[in-house]
Structure 1
Amino acid sequence: MRFRNDTRGIGVARLFFSLVTSVGLGLAAGTAFLIVRGPFFAGPSLAPFPMMAALAVFIVGIVVLMWGSTRLFGVGTGA
Structure 2
Amino acid sequence: MSNRPRTDRGGFGVLAYVYGFVTLVGLAVTAGTGYLLVRGPFLGGALLEPVPLMVALGGFVVGVVVLAWGATRAARVGRF
Q: TM-score range by the shorter chain?
A: 0.7 to 0.9
Number of aligned positions between the proteins: 73
Tell me the CA shift for residue 7 of structure 1.
3.2
Question: What per-residue deviation string (whole Å, max 9, x for no partner) do you get for residues 27-59 of structure 1?
Answer: 000000000000000001100000000000000
Stretches of structure 1 lacking an aligned partner (at least 5 in a row): none
Specify which of 59, 66, 69 is matched with residue 67 of structure 1.
69
5 Å matches for 1:21-60? 21-60=23-62
Greater C-alpha Rg: 2
Could you tell me how far apart the structure 2 residues matched to 1:27 and 1:49 are? 18
Stretches of structure 2 lacking an aligned partner (at least 5 in a row): none
Higher relative contact order (CA 8 A, sep 6+): 2
Tell me the CA shift for residue 8 of structure 1.
2.9
TM-score (norm: length of structure 1):
0.83
Moved over 6 A (4+): none
2:8 matched residue in structure 1 = 8
